[in-house]
Amino acid sequence: MDYDFTETEFLLVIEIERLTKELLSNRPSGNTAAMVQPALKALARTPYLRLGLEPVPGLNGLATLTAAIEVLASLEPSLCLAIEASTRVFGRMLAAWASPDQKARWLGPLRDGNLIGAIALSEDALNVENDPMQTCGKMDGDRVSIRGRKQWVVNGPIADAVAVVGTLEGRTVVFVVDAATEGLTQGPPLETLGFDGTPFCSLELDNCRINADQIIDPAPTAAIEALRLWENQVLSGISLGLMKTGFEAAKDHAKTHRSGGKPVIAYQQVGFKLAEMLTLYQSAQLLAYRAAWTADNTPKQAPGLALCAKVFATESAEQVTGAALQILAGAGLDRDHRVARAWRCAKYGQIAGTSTEIARVMIGDEALGTERSG
Partner 1 sequence: MLNGNKMFITNGPIADVAVVYAKTAPELKHAGISAFIVEKGTPGFSAGPNIIKMGVCTSQTSELILNDCVIPADNLLGKEGDGFAMSLQTVEWDRSALLAPFVGAATYMLKRCAAYANARVQFGRRIGQFQATKNKLANIRIFGEAARTLVYRIAWCKDQGRPLNHLEAAVAKLFVGDWSMGPANDAMVLHGGYGYCHEYDMERIFRDSRLAPIGGGTSDIQKMIISKLI
Q: Is 10 in the site for partner 1 (CB under 8 A)?
A: no
Using alpha carbons only, give the angle 349, 9, 250 rounded to the nearest 5 degrees. Answer: 45
Q: Is 308 in the site for partner 1 (CB under 8 A)?
A: yes
Q: Is 276 in the site for partner 1 (CB under 8 A)?
A: yes
Closest CA to 92 of 229, 289, 244, 268: 229
Q: Is 339 in the site for partner 1 (CB under 8 A)?
A: no
Q: Is 320 in the site for partner 1 (CB under 8 A)?
A: no
Q: Is 359 in the site for partner 1 (CB under 8 A)?
A: yes
The contacts of residue 141 (CB under 8 Å, 6+ apart) are none
Q: Which is nearer to partner 1, 106 or 289 (CB)?
A: 289
- Least distance between partner 1 and beta carbon 188 (Å): 36
Q: Is 274 in the site for partner 1 (CB under 8 A)?
A: yes
DSSP code at position 135? -
- Least distance between partner 1 and beta carbon 7 (Å): 15
Instruction: Evaluate whether 95 touches 106 at the Cβ level (below 8 Å).
Output: no
Q: Among 23, 107, 136, 309, which residue sits at the site for partner 1 (rule: CB under 8 A)?
A: 309
Q: Which is nearer to partner 1, 262 or 335 (CB)?
A: 262
CA 91 from chain centre, in angstroms, equals: 12
Q: x/- binding map, residues 277-306, to partner 1, per CB under 8 A?
A: -xxx-xxx-xx-xx-------------xx-
- Least distance between partner 1 and beta carbon 292 (Å): 12
Q: Among 3, 30, 191, 335, which residue sits at the site for partner 1 (rule: CB under 8 A)?
A: 3
Q: Is 251 in the site for partner 1 (CB under 8 A)?
A: yes
User: Count H helices, E strands: the chain?
Assistant: 12, 10
SS3 category, 35: helix
Q: Is 253 in the site for partner 1 (CB under 8 A)?
A: no
Q: Among 132, 191, 369, 371, which residue sits at the site for partner 1 (rule: CB under 8 A)?
A: 369
Using the rule CB under 8 A, give the single segment among 101-109, 126-134, 328-336, 362-370 that binds partner 1. 362-370
Instruction: Report the C-alpha gap between 247 and 256 in whole angstroms.
Output: 14
Using the rule CB under 8 A, give the single segment among 12-20, 178-186, 337-345, 352-360 that binds partner 1. 352-360
Instruction: Report the C-alpha gap between 232 and 238 in whole angstroms.
Output: 10
146 backbone dihedrals φ, ψ, rounded to 5°: -115, 140
Using the rule CB under 8 A, give the single segment among 1-9, 179-187, 225-233, 335-343 that binds partner 1. 1-9
Instruction: Report the C-alpha gap between 108 and 94 in whole angstroms.
Output: 10
- The amino acid present at 127, given as its one-letter code, is N
Residues of 235-271 as b/e, b for ≥16 C-beta within 10 angstroms?
A: bbbbbbbbbbbbbebbbebbeeeeeeeebbbeeeebe
- Least distance between partner 1 and beta carbon 257 (Å): 15
Q: Which is nearer to partner 1, 135 or 294 (CB)?
A: 294
CA 72 → CA 81, 142, 292, distances in Å?
9, 42, 17
The footprint of partner 1 (CB under 8 A) covers 1-3, 251, 265, 268, 271-272, 274-276, 278-280, 282-284, 286-287, 289-290, 304-305, 308-309, 311-312, 357, 359-361, 363-365, 367-370, 373
